[in-house]
Structure 1
């Protein structure tokens, strides 16, 4: 009986790493990012721009509410704040749809979009829980040409927000 228990334990110990490696990976902090037009973190994940940790977890740019940085103040993702990294610029119309891909759906207060040093759009969800994809039609007003859009997802159930920057060229 003792030999059987030892044998079973040894087999279990030998198989555990193989089983763990075969399971799907999940992010410890999965939340959301803008997938279209491609945000800076989406470009990192796609390999369009060479990046660090953000490549593997584009949905994790989270920081305290009220920040104005692409990295959400997270030092692990500081490359998102570097405007000289060769980010692909997407041509867009004056009225453009931004699509968030959410991997964890938090109750939401507001979604905000900034460009040219000013808020250009705000959407109030009043604490509702969004779906897996959220689309916003954003009007750039009088802004044209190359713009860096800072998009902020303010969640209702924490003091944090999620941040995404998108480089666009707004048609005149």
Structure 2
């Protein structure tokens, strides 16, 4: 009858295995992106623009820090770099509030905002873990007309960042 204790032990281990995987430190299934005004990946997720894989994981545009592409250098999401794709442009004033949604909240070095390669704002993250949503108001007073804004969420405890582009009509 030694098989009954073995079966119970195996069953208990099988029941706990999924919980251990979910609780493993450093494991994250997703990350973060700008959802308002709608970033390119938010537009993909909402079905506004026909896109590839990014439709299913708008929060996953991750790449090494220091890049300037909407795809974060990730070939799977190269469609985000295509300026002719038909992105919906949001009309805004000179002060714009960007709202990030986080599905895995990494400790944050900072958030950076760029227009045409010029850094227009930086927000210190203080090495802290952000809330599930975070908003920053950015002054775009030096720009007018249609602009592509690149937002970068720099993670404090990895060499990576998350990238999000938003198409705006400023004025």
- Give TM class, smaller chain: 0.7 to 0.9
Whether the aligned pair in 2 keeps the contact of 1:120 and 1:141 (CA below 8 Å) is: no
Counterpart for residue 73 of structure 1? 73
| RMSD between aligned residues | 1.8
Q: Distance in 2 between matches of 1:29 and 1:158?
A: 16
CA deviation profile, 1:73-126 (whole Å, cap 9, x unmatched) = 000000000000000000011001000000010000010000022000000111
TM-score by length of structure 1 reads 0.83
Distance 2:161 2:80 in 1: 16
SS of residue in 1 equivalent to 2:42: helix
Matched with 2:60 is: 60
Q: Give the length in aligned residue pairs.
A: 149
Equivalent-residue separation in structure 2 for 1:76 and 1:155 (angstroms): 21
Unaligned runs of 5+ in 2: 5-27
- 1:29 and 1:159 map into 2 onto residues whose CA distance is 18
Measure the CA separation in 1 of the matches of 2:84 and 2:75: 17
TM-aligned CA deviation for residue 42 of structure 1 = 0.2
TM-score between the two structures when normalised by the length of structure 2: 0.83
Q: Which runs of 4+ in 1 moved over 4 A?
A: none
Question: What are the equivalent positions in structure 2 for 1:27-46 lying under 5 Å apart?
Answer: 29-46=29-46
